[in-house]
Amino acid sequence: MHYENIDQLLFYRSLSEAARRSSNDCGTIVYSPEDIIETIPYKINKHGYRSEEFEKDNEVLVLGCSQTFGSGMLNDFTWPNIFCNSINKKYSRLSITGDSIGAQVYKAFKYFEEIGNPKIVLGLFPLYRLEYVSVPKKFVASLRSGNTEQERLCTGIAYIYEESPIQFSKAPHDPEHIIPKEFVIFYNFMFIKMLEQYCESHGIKFIWSIYDNNNVETYIQSNPNISKNYLKTSDYGKYCKDENKNCNIEFSNHELYNWAADYNSTRHLGHWGIHSHTHIAEIFLERYREIENDK
């Protein structure tokens, strides 16, 4: 989504504008060309998110990226849907494919402002991403097409997965070339802390996790100042019923059992299937039931 003036982008983004997509732009049902195994319908609400309509009485707010959005997955099999059906609560999902922690926390605060406070906030985040604003001819925004946007003010997500930035860069700079991982980690944990403190002061149960770095997970779990709301999800395989992972037997022959519909066998890339979503939901459920009656 592009913006006509600097105020709209830098100061006043609404919940709909922060989605970087409007249901008016693409319709209420969209399909992804990346879904190879079967065509998955994605139901988009009026704010531009894959969710039922946002209502004040939706008790659960879910944050995350494409894994939580459910890329390539029928909604019935996504972990937020499994979790909320298990506790019989309605939910709103703010997850956007490719999103970052900071972008999701911003959306959460806009949700609190525009819709209201939920009773539970769940977050499953990627660590090494950062939302930023492009500056024409100075700072470029990477586009999903593989091209870059240089001429207009717009938002982008930088994927900081390289071990170190490049030694030399010139304008217009690509943030993925010049921002180190430590910078991203620092700001992402500030965003988490702000969300955590808001939830605590408003009586909202908050459970969150990251899924893409075991080293950081180990540090978080060893630090009591960080870990009270943190949930380790990277070891979800331990929830399998036996060593051969013969669980969810009723879906074991489903074509989406191991991988989502966007799985590319030649590149070995794709999103979680039914098996992973089920266990992620179980891990969040276990923690929720531990704290369900906490004041």
Confidence grade of residue 141 (pLDDT, cut at 50, 70, 90): confident
- pLDDT score of 218 more than 80: no
* Torsion 131-133-136-138 (CA) sign: negative
* pLDDT for position 241: 59
* Chain centroid, CA 292 distance in Å: 23
- pLDDT score of 246 more than 70: no
Q: How far apart are CA 235 and CA 283, in angstroms?
A: 10
Query: If you average pLDDT over residues 130-153, what whole number do you get?
Result: 75
Hey, what domains does the chain have and what are their CATH numbers? 23-127+181-287 (3.40.50.1110)
Q: How is residue 98 written in tokens?
A: 């490719």
Q: What is the DSSP string of the chain?
A: -B-SSHHHHHT---HHHHTT--HHHH-SEEE-TT--SS--EEE--TTSSSSSPP-TT--EEEEESHHHHTTTS-GGGSHHHHHHHHHT--EEE---TT--HHHHHHHHHHHHHHT---SEEEEEE-SSEEEEE-BTTTB-EE-TTS-EE-SS-BEEEEE--SSS--S---SSBPHHHH--HHHHHHHHHHHHHHHHHHHHHTT-EEEEEE-S-HHHHHHHHH-TTTTTSB---TTGGGGSSSTT---SGGGTTSTTSSB-TT-BTTTTB--B-HHHHHHHHHHHHHHHHHHTT--
Query: If you average pLDDT over residues 273-292, what whole number do you get?
Result: 94
- Residues of the chain with pLDDT > 70, as a percent, come to 90
- pLDDT score of 149 more than 70: no
Query: Mean pLDDT, the chain, as a whole number?
Result: 88
Q: What is the reported pTM?
A: 0.92
* pLDDT for position 144: 53
- Tens of pLDDT along 45-100? 999 999 999 999 999 999 999 999 999 999 999 999 999 999 999 999 999 999 99
